[in-house]
Structure 1
């Protein structure tokens, strides 16, 4: 590929994706019982979910700035072009770390040709953007073309998701404790989305069946030409619900395809087990 594509593990793509496509991965860190793990590389999502079920809430931290500096320096020395497709800056500081590191490397290598893009996306919403960037890079499309597409897809990527327990998001500061309390008290399923990179509760729905039905309705309302799209589904140790959701999307919305992946250890540390998330575009590239 003429352009090196880079991303972080918050995109929830599996390890073999990076290995098969030559994509550079910056893993977020996951901390459990005093041990530090590299998301995707040295920890499986189920380890996180089992820890949470046992009452041991994991913590997460950013990828190492030294990792960014090493990769950016190598790109500069090899006179290669690169694009780093980053996790939402509203949910993590990793974009800012990468951006600042690139600026530092430019002091020694003014010709560094790396674009650092804040997708304002998360999980497989970010992952679908990465997948398209990799596809374009394999076709030897220019860095400018890929950046333009990444920015468009990021802007128009819808995130719909529900969690079993809002407390996990509240403890990580992702939603308010008041929202978490109401959700747990009424035993309801919250439907959330991402707006400008932030998690926003949009509806409260009683019961799983009604939740899945409502997701289909919202997809129909917001999605554009779903029959031409690859829809993404990520799940936290709940393949059964993900598969049920896939069947509904194919049967009722006639999506081109549906790609399922597991929510990784870093994102899963904040969502907890039982989370289901759906990703699609509200506008297609022209």
Structure 2
């Protein structure tokens, strides 16, 4: 990196002028080995990039070099329809769209870190996920237009480390949601799913989910906000025995009844749904953690993902 010019210039996004020199070196047979987990901040400080930093760096270099593809070698053979440790019916996908991969990564799939997928989607860098331990074909992460096969659901993601928190009997008035979730945001609580009950006599219950590790600071933030007079509640119920299961697929945009099929499959197995959230290409449910494996297996069967490939 230092050969590209001023130290850290490339990491600060100023090093494109040096890229042709690097490309010329590649043409001369040079191979660059770069530590992908670190970079230099705009202030000139060396910093680590956190989890997934190496993948993110690889995508950044591929984009800057205008490479045809970025190959990511990892400990799995590709992107699967779900965690193979939960069901042996899990199948490796030949291709998956950026949007689907981004959803799966953010919902608990640990193959790629979200920042690397976001960067790849932004700069249209095709990603290929390959195994470090075998030569078998992996999974190509690419634009939706490159995917020929039609799938309603491409994968199932899950997260075990969830908690459900319910504020009991808060005032049902304009601004109450902002009053509740503002202090949570200030405390760095990563709020995910939110549901509000029907109001009775001017009061309601407000439920949200968050990572289980965020429960202590969430409780502290809510109690401090109530003590400061921002709002009041009659109780705080915390359930740390829940998990999130999500189905993801770009085919949901053009197919009706996907959520119904998901809910029916869970009901048939006696799995009760606590909270539901949806987006254009995903449906997530919060369930009791003890049913996680059963729920994933049931949904994998219901959407016939063993036929994917």
TM-score range for the pair, normalised by the shorter chain length = 0.3 to 0.5
Q: Which has the higher contact order (CA 8 A, sep 6+)?
A: 1
Q: Larger radius of gyration, structure 1 or 2?
A: 2
* TM-score relative to the length of structure 2: 0.31
